[in-house]
Amino acid sequence: MGDYIDDTYVANAVGGSAIVDALTGSSSSVLAQHIAAAEGIIKGALENSGYATTFAVGSAALAVVQSACIGALVHKLYNLKQQEVPAAYAIDVGTFNAIVAGELKIPGVQPSAVTGVGGVEFSDSSDTSDDGRPAVFKNLRDIY
């Protein structure tokens, strides 16, 4: 269903399908939409921080991302029902909030300074054109 979590993972993580059914009205398509939304929020936050969005199965990084997805999902579902999120989900919701705020480092994964928000990639400054000018000015040589 999703890239990080699916309906079975959700049911196991929240304590059973009865809870999921109560929050989604027993609709698998509603659950799928909410899973996609939760994963989208987490993917966006990861990309903003410069992290890749694919992780090895069974890795600590994937476990953290799955926890954050569950946090996003239960936060969304309970708020839609205008109910307070139970304390049992505090770690998952905390993980979700920390990733979105950019405060949590994903274990075993190094963020890219280039692809994160504000990241910069410089070109090689040692390349020069045949007339000795920096390559960036190569096309302007006839103007001077």
Tens digits of pLDDT across the chain (144 residues): 679 999 899 999 988 888 888 888 888 888 999 999 999 999 999 998 889 899 999 999 999 999 999 999 999 999 988 999 999 999 999 999 999 998 899 999 988 766 666 665 655 555 555 665 555 555 555 554
Distance CA 79, CA 62 (A): 25
Q: What is the pTM of this model?
A: 0.77
Q: 32, 35, 40, 57: which is closest to 99 by C-alpha?
A: 40
- The residue ranges of every structural domain in the chain are 7-119
Q: Which SS3 state, helix, strand or coil, does residue 128 take? A: strand
Report which secondary-structure segment, H or E, holds 43: helix 28-48
Q: What is the C-alpha separation between 79 and 56, in angstroms, rounded?
A: 31
